[in-house]
Chain A
Amino acid sequence: AQSVSQHNHHVILSEAASLELGCNYSYGGTVNLFWYVQYPGQHLQLLLKYFSGDPLVKGIKGFEAEFIKSKFSFNLRKPSVQWSDTAEYFCAVNPLGRNTGKLIFGQGTTLQVKP
Chain B
Amino acid sequence: DAGVIQSPRHEVTEMGQEVTLRCKPISGHDYLFWYRQTMMRGLELLIYFNNNVPIDDSGMPEDRFSAKMPNASFSTLKIQPSEPRDSAVYFCASTPTGGQPQHFGDGTRLSIL
* Chain A interface residues toward B at CB < 8 A: 32, 34, 42-46, 49, 51, 90, 94, 96, 99-103, 105, 107-108
Which residues of chain B have C-beta atoms less than 8 A from A51's C-beta? 99
User: B-side binding surface: helix, strand, loop or mixed?
Assistant: strand
> Which residue of chain B has its CB nearest to the CB of A45?
B104
Question: Number of B residues contacting the other chain (C-beta, 8 Å)?
Answer: 24
16 contacts between A and B (CB under 8 A): A32-B100, A42-B106, A43-B91, A43-B104, A45-B104, A46-B103, A94-B98, A96-B98, A100-B56, A101-B30, A101-B95, A101-B98, A102-B45, A103-B33, A105-B43, A105-B45
Residue in A43, A44, A100 whose Cβ sees the most chain B Cβ within 10 Å: A43
Distance to closest chain B CB from A51 (angstroms): 8
Q: Is the beta-carbon distance between A43 and B99 smaller than 8 angstroms?
A: no
Q: Is B105 an interface residue (CB 8 A)?
A: yes
Q: Is the beta-carbon distance between B99 and A32 smaller than 8 angstroms?
A: yes
Distance to closest chain A CB from B67 (angstroms): 15
* Chain B interface residues toward A at CB < 8 A: 30-31, 33, 42-43, 45, 48, 50, 55-56, 91, 93, 95, 97-107
With A43-B104, A43-B105, A94-B99 known as contacts, the answer to whether A101 contacts B42 (CB < 8 A) is no
Q: Is the beta-carbon distance between B55 and A43 smaller than 8 angstroms?
A: no
Determine which of A43, A96, A99, A101 lies in contact with B31 in the assembled complex, contact meaning CB atoms within 8 Å. Answer: A101
Q: How far is the CA of A108 from the CA of B100 in the complex (A)?
A: 20
Q: How far is the CA of A43 from the CA of B43 in the complex (A)?
A: 11
Which residues of chain A have C-beta atoms less than 8 A from B48's C-beta? 101-102
Q: Is the beta-carbon distance between B106 and A100 smaller than 8 angstroms?
A: no
Q: Is the beta-carbon distance between B106 and A96 smaller than 8 angstroms?
A: no
Q: Is the beta-carbon distance between B104 and A108 smaller than 8 angstroms?
A: no
Which residues of chain B have C-beta atoms less than 8 A from A49's C-beta? 101
- A sample of 11 more A-B contacts (CB under 8 A), given A43-B105, A101-B95, A108-B42, is A32-B100, A44-B91, A46-B101, A49-B101, A94-B98, A100-B55, A101-B55, A101-B97, A102-B55, A107-B42, A108-B43
Q: Is the beta-carbon distance between A103 and B102 smaller than 8 angstroms?
A: yes
Q: How far is the CA of A96 from the CA of B100 in the complex (A)?
A: 10
